[in-house]
Amino acid sequence: TLNRQWEKVEDRLNVSFEFFPPNSPEMADTLWQSVVKLAKFKPQFVSVTYGANRSTRDRTHAVIERLVQETDLTPVPHLTCIDASREEIADIVSRYRQLGVNHIVALRGDLPASATQTGGDFQYASDLVAFLRQQGVEKISVAAYPEVHPEARSARHDLDNLKRKVDAGATDIITQFFFDNCAFLRFRDRCRSAGIELPITPGILPVSNYRQVERFASGCGTRVPSWMGHLYEGLDDDPETRRLIGASLALEQVKLLINEGVADFHFYTLNRAELSYAICHALRLVGLPGRHAAPQLASV
Ligand code: FAD
C-alpha cells in the first residue's frame, strides 16, 4: 500500500530547500554549487536564514539578491525580530519588495542566554507577522514545533501561540526538524483540532554529522531516538557511511510521511546538496510535468 499511495502523492510533491548565508569564500562556493545542483528539482522556493548579528543579516540580503538576479528560483528570506525596531523591519521589507520578494519566513529568533524578553519593538513572532501583514507582505511562513518549543509553558500554550501567528496573518507553517514521525502526525492532528487549517510543511534534516545534530536537537527541543544513535555508532571517523545512512534514513522518513498524505517537504540542507539531492532524486522529482532543466548561475 505504501507504493500505491506514494504513486498518487508523487504527482503533487513539492520541495523547498533552506540555506544559510556563507561566511567565507569557500563556504560561498559550496552554497552556490548546492543551489545549482538542487535547482534541478524545481523547488517551490529556496529560503535563506537570518542570523543574530548585523553582518550575517546583510549576507542574507546579498544571497537573496543574487538568487533573484541569477536564477529563476523563488527566494524567500527569513527575518527575525528579537532586537528589531518597526522602522528597521519596514526598511528591510521595502528593500525586498524592490527585488520582487514578497514571501518572508517570520520568526522571533533565539533570545540570548541571559534574556527573558526581546529588546526591540516585537515580543513574539506573532507581533512580527501582524506588522508584515500591515506592510503588505503577501506570503508569511511561520515556525512550529511538533515536539514543543523549549521555552513554551506547555504544549497547549505553544499551540495557542501558533494559532496567534495564524490569526495575525501567517499563510503557511514550516516545522522544526524531527525524527519521530508520530510526533509530527500527532501535532498535525492537534493543529487541525485547534482550527489551524494552514498547510503544515515538515522540516526534514538529513543527518550526515550526527554529533552536531545531537547538539542542535538538544537546543531546540527535538528528541533524537536512541535507535538513531545506534545507527551512527562507530562512524565518527567515517563521514561517507554517515552520509549514506543519513540519506536513506531521511528518504524513509519522507516516504512514510507521503504515506500519511504529506506532499510538501522543507529540507534543511546546511548548504550541502548531496543528501537532499539523493533523496529528491529517489523520489523521482525530476521529469515530472512542469519540472525542467536547472538554471545556470552566471559565475559558478
Ligand atoms: P515565537 O512564535 O514568538 O515563540 C517563541 C516562544 O514564545 C515559544 O515558546 C512560544 O510558545 C512562546 N510564546 C509566543 N507567544 C507567546 C505569548 N503571547 N505569551 C507567552 N508565550 C508566548 N532562528 C534564527 O535566528 N534565524 C532563522 O533564520 C531561523 N529560521 C528558522 C526556521 C524554522 C522553520 C524554524 C522552525 C526555526 C527557525 N529559527 C531561526 C529558530 C527560531 O528563531 C527559534 O526557535 C526561536 O526561539 C523561536 O522563534 P519563533 O518564531 O518560533 O517564536
Q: Please state, as a whole number, how many other Cβ atoms lie within 10 Å of the Cβ of residue 157.
A: 13
- Among residues 243, 274, 254, the alpha carbon closest in space to that of 37 is found at 274
- The answer to whether the CB of 228 is under 6 A from ligand 1 is no
Give the distance (Å) from ligand 1 centre to CA of residue 223: 18
Give the distance (Å) from ligand 1 centre to CA of residue 111: 9
8-state DSSP, 107: E
Measured from the Cα of 160, ligand 1's closest atom is: 11
Amino acid occupying residue 222: T
Can you say how many angstroms the Cα of residue 18 is from the centroid of all Cα atoms in its chain?
A: 5
CB 202 within 8 Å of CB 265 = yes
From CA 268, how far away is CA 141, in angstroms rounded? 15
Give the distance (Å) from ligand 1 centre to CA of residue 124: 7
Can you say how many angstroms the Cα of residue 17 is from the centroid of all Cα atoms in its chain?
A: 7
- The answer to whether the CB of 194 is under 6 A from ligand 1 is no
Q: Please state, as a whole number, how many other Cβ atoms lie within 10 Å of the Cβ of residue 253.
A: 21
pLDDT of 5: 62
From CA 187, how far away is CA 191, in angstroms rounded? 6
- The answer to whether the CB of 50 is under 6 A from ligand 1 is yes
- The answer to whether the CB of 149 is under 6 A from ligand 1 is yes
Measured from the Cα of 106, ligand 1's closest atom is: 51
Residue with CA at minimum distance from ligand 1 atom 30: 49
Name residue, grid cell 529528491: 280
- The answer to whether the CB of 109 is under 6 A from ligand 1 is yes
CB 125 within 8 Å of CB 142 = yes
- Among residues 88, 94, 81, 93, the alpha carbon closest in space to that of 127 is found at 81
**Which of the residues are catalytic?**
18
From CA 6, how far away is CA 193, in angstroms rounded? 26
pLDDT of 8: 64
pLDDT tens digits in sequence order for the chain, 300 residues long? 556 665 666 678 999 999 999 999 999 999 999 999 999 999 999 999 998 777 688 999 999 999 999 999 999 999 999 989 999 999 999 999 999 999 999 999 988 877 777 788 999 999 999 999 999 999 999 999 999 999 999 999 999 999 999 999 999 999 999 999 999 999 999 999 999 999 999 999 999 999 999 999 989 999 999 999 999 999 999 999 999 999 999 999 999 999 999 999 999 999 999 999 999 999 988 644 444 444 455 554
pLDDT of 50: 96
pTM as predicted: 0.94
